[in-house]
Amino acid sequence: MPQKTVVTIVGARPQFIKAAAVSRAIARMAGSPLRELLVHTGQHHDENMSEVFFRELSIPAPALNLGIAGGTHGRMTGRMLEEIEKALVEHKPDWLLIYGDTNSTLAGALAASKLHIPVAHVEAGLRSFDRRMPEEVNRVVADHLSTLLFAPTDVAVQNLRTEGIVGDKVRRVGDVMFDVMLFYRDVAARQSTILQRLELVPKTFVLATVHRAENTDDPARLRSILGGLAAISEKHTVVLPIHPRTRAAISARSDFKFPPGLRVIDPVGYLDMLSLEWNAGLIATDSGGVQKEAFFASVPCITLRDNTEWVELIHSGANVLVGADAARIAAEGLRRFASRIPETPLYGDGHAAEQIAAALA
Ligand code: UDP
């Protein structure tokens, strides 16, 4: 069988983590049927938002780094579209592989489909049904342009069916983030020293992350979320690894300060993040990935959003939507702290990445 070339587009933190699983599966295939070239758009680029993940998760070095970050959605996506097209014309891949729902995902899908290069989308079929979210626009377009759609859950398959995307092109493979977590959980337990560094006692603290545009771009919501977390911090330590977008939103306003009770730290690498997640008594987040990782770690979660794509977590009772309401965040956070959550397998068998690699080959 002749070797097929896959060009993979990554650019943002969650994509590095997802790509870690699939790139490893591709590299380990018997007979090496696939050659993978990684294109890093540059959307996230510094040490703690990008490089640490390549190092810790042994992700192959990008064949190309486009260095495109910042600017408006239109400008960023447009510049990526132009550069990805050039890379595709040069390498003529058999597949373009994209992950999730960022501007890098959208630019990759558009560039490849105009060149008639088949697109494979990992994490297909997720919907918040909120078209005001940039991620929702990106994922809807990416799914409709894709030739192979790797859905993590039954709900995702159903969402695609509702939009008329059916048949063999849709594969329910499970969630690659579950694969990555299984692979690195023990490594994190052995190697991460974050609990000692921050002097945290397991199961006595809350881990919080906030970075969705709907929260960071709306000062009233952001203030209210921080207020809710501050109220929780009167009882339990709250650790907040701060996303650059959230830090920028807070520093842009002179009347805005982090509440003193919060332990605000720089973003952490994946191994430290797993260690924080597994040892937290509660996770408060607006991140898609972190909602699932809370569930993997059997830690109760409150989601700082009005909706979620990962609805099975809500239905199972593992997670609850609290929006940006300070009183609700405090009440649900304190009530759920260290509570037990149901343990049902929702995200596959830990072999999503191998199934994806096999389908591409
Ligand atoms: N993450 C990390 N360090 C941090 C915060 C998050 O390694 O300081 C990881 C987290 O464990 C998860 C992924 O980043 O695997 C989630 O990415 P993010 O929250 O940026 O995006 P989303 O999942 O919402 O698309």
Give which of 289, 286, 297 is closest to 324, Cα–Cα: 286
pLDDT tens for 186-240 read 999 999 999 999 999 999 999 999 999 999 999 999 999 999 999 999 999 999 9
Is 211 catalytic? The answer is yes
Residues of 242-268 as b/e, b for ≥16 C-beta within 10 angstroms? bbeebbebbeeeeeeebbebbbbeebb
Per residue in 130-142, is it b (16+ CB within 10 Å) or e — as a string?
Answer: eeebbbbbbbbbb
Domain boundaries, the chain: 4-172, 183-336
The answer to whether the 4-172 and 183-336 domains have the same CATH topology is yes
Which pLDDT tens digit goes with each residue over 270-280? 999 999 999 99
Residue nearest to atom 6 of ligand 1 (CA): 273
| CA 353 – ligand 1 centroid, Å | 19
Per-residue pLDDT band at 182 (split at 50, 70, 90): very high
Give the global pTM. Answer: 0.97
- Predicted local confidence at residue 2, as pLDDT: 87
Q: State the catalytic residue, choosing from 44, 121, 211, 236.
A: 211
Residue nearest to atom 19 of ligand 1 (CA): 287
- List the one residue out of 110, 100, 178, 169 whose CA is nearest residue 359: 169
Residue 290 Cα to ligand 1 midpoint, Å, equals 6
Look at residue 90 and tell me whether its pLDDT is greater than 90: yes
Nearest CA to ligand 1 atom 14: 14
Q: Compute the Cα dihedral for 329, 331, 333, 339 and give only its sign.
A: negative
* The predicted structure's pLDDT at residue 99: 98
Q: How far is the CA of 170 from the centre of ligand 1 (A)?
A: 26
pLDDT of residue 224: 97
Q: Tell me which residue has tokens 């039954």.
A: 154
Residue 1 has pLDDT above 90, yes or no: no
Query: Rounded distance, CA 305 to CA 324, Å?
Result: 7
Q: Which of 9, 211, 14 is nearest to 112 (CA)?
A: 9
- Class of 4-172 in CATH: alpha beta
Ligand 1, CB within 6 Å, residue ranges:
13-14, 17, 209, 211, 241, 267-270, 273, 287-290, 293
183-336 CATH fold: Rossmann fold (3.40.50)
Per-residue pLDDT tens digits for 6-56: 999 999 999 999 999 999 999 999 999 999 999 999 999 999 999 999 999
